A and B are shown apart, each in its own frame.
Chain A
Amino acid sequence: MNIPDELKGKLPLNYHLLQKVEGHKIQRISLVASAFHQTRSRVSKKFYKPISRVFK
């Protein structure tokens, strides 16, 4: 699927989502959108890195 010309070269919030659309078939959108949402959701709730590592 091609990205509409008016969106090319811009950096909308769902920039990465658009890239996925460029590289993949349309069926992938919902999956990617879901993964994107989960990532955002995780970042907002839990700190993004280990604070300390006292066990393996």
Chain B
Amino acid sequence: MRKNYFMLFANCVAVKGASRGAIYDLQNEVIKLIPNILVDVLELAKTNTIDEVKAHFGHDMDEGIDRYISLLENEGYGFRTAEPHRFPPLSLEWDHPAAITNAIIDVGRRSNHNYEQIALALDGVGCVAVQFRFFDFIGPATLESVLKVYNGTRVISLELIVKYDPALVSQLPTLIYEYRRVRSVTIHGSPDEQRIKDERTGVELIYITAEIDSSAHCGQVSSDHFVSNIGFFTESQRFNTCLNRKISLDVAGNIKNCPSMTTTFGKLTDTDLKDVVRQADFKKVWTVTKEMIDVCKVCEFRHACTDCRAFVGDNPLGKPVKCGYDPHTMKWETTENKTVAWPVRDA
């Protein structure tokens, strides 16, 4: 049987942008940049043979189509088949069996959080990932008391952002070994920038020189934060990639969608999180997708980028102000030109 169709593997999805496209490899977690015309070719190829696709373009692009197909085949993005109907597309439905998936807890010098109460409340709404952002010094003993209360909860991932302190840094390997829910640690205000992988746990310790002293530092959009996996890609189809199923406590203990936002939904001391997550006002930002946002809706990275609705300027549906990427020019507004020319593989 002649294999006269070409298909992308179901877990490799082509996305068209303003000036170029991308193939999201949701299994190998890679984004491959491609010309937009190739996105059109791949779309047509879903229901047409390669010869029919070539004819559609008047046979002007025969050589290019052959070259692209061979390249995608060799790099493991697609395959030739005689039976395309045997390979239905991946379902892009996303759901999660809990009201909340992730949480941010901000801690400042004057914070008076009850960490046990926080852990119980987050467990009650099904949260699986919590990030603590300590803007000021925290001692090893206090940090241990924060981590300890997650034993026995359904939380599987704890991320820590802590202020550089030699006494704490020396104890971190012991703490992350003892409390295995800790998946990453960022140490701000460090003397040097470095990344060290803890040998026993595999947890990455990220040392940065910048001081993270408030929630105003959040919302940075960078290719370093891009994600290509099935959870993120499917969630991004109908939900906001940052705020969906997120709950936050700011330094004063106010319940918010995001610590950088102004709207509050009470304090944890007198409010049940289960009641908060039922409120339509609390959930309204969950469904702001990239397809609704100016500029972002034509960006080839719109299903890889974590959105930000806290820092958006005057237009609530505007592009995040901390994003320097222009999908029309394909350039980043930084001193470093991050444009990647096709077919370089961009992770």
Q: Write the residues of chain A forming the contact surface with B, with a CB cutoff of 8 angstroms.
A: 3, 8-9, 11, 15-16, 19-20, 22-24, 28, 35-36, 39, 43-56
The prevalent SS among residues of A at the interface is: loop
Q: Which of A20, A46, A49, A56 contacts B241 (CB 8 A)?
A: A49
Give residues 115-150 of B contacting A (CB, 8 Å).
Answer: 128-131, 133
A48 adjacent to B229 (CB under 8 Å): yes
Confirm or deny: B219 has a beta carbon within 8 angstroms of a beta carbon on chain A. Answer: yes
Contacts of A28 in B (CB 8 A): 76
Q: In the complex the two chains form, what is the Cα distance from A54 to B188 in whole Å?
A: 10
Contacts of A22 in B (CB 8 A): 79, 81, 87
Chain A residues within an 8 Å CB radius of B73: 23
* A53–B306 touching, CB < 8 Å: yes
Asked if B92 CB lies within 8 Å of chain A CBs, one says no
A19 touching B87, Cβ below 8 Å: yes
Could you mark each residue 193-237 of chain B with 1 if its beta carbon is under 8 Å from any beta carbon of chain A, else 0? 000000000000000101010000111111011010101100100
Q: Can you identify 27 A-B contacts, CB atoms within 8 angstroms?
A: A11-B88, A16-B10, A19-B87, A23-B78, A23-B79, A24-B76, A36-B27, A43-B229, A46-B183, A46-B184, A47-B128, A47-B156, A48-B229, A48-B232, A49-B235, A50-B227, A51-B129, A51-B130, A51-B159, A52-B133, A53-B218, A53-B308, A54-B133, A54-B188, A54-B212, A55-B212, A56-B224
Neighbour of A47 across the interface among B79, B80, B183, B218, CB < 8 A: B183
Extra A-B contacts (9), CB below 8 Å, given A35-B27, A53-B308: A47-B128, A49-B241, A50-B225, A52-B133, A53-B221, A53-B225, A55-B186, A55-B210, A55-B217
The interface residues of chain B lying within 8 Å CB-to-CB of A44 are 156
Say yes or no: A23 contacts B9, CB within 8 Å.
yes
- Cross-chain contact A46 with B157 (CB below 8 angstroms): yes
Picked from A11, A49, A50, A54, the residue with its CB within 8 Å of the CB of B217 is A54
A43, B183: Cβ atoms closer than 8 Å: no
Rounded to whole angstroms, the CA-CA distance of A39 and B30 in the bound complex is 12
Partner of A39, one of B27, B129, B208: B27
* Pairwise interchain contact A55-B220, C-beta atoms closer than 8 A: yes
Q: Are B183 and A8 in contact (CB under 8 A)?
A: no
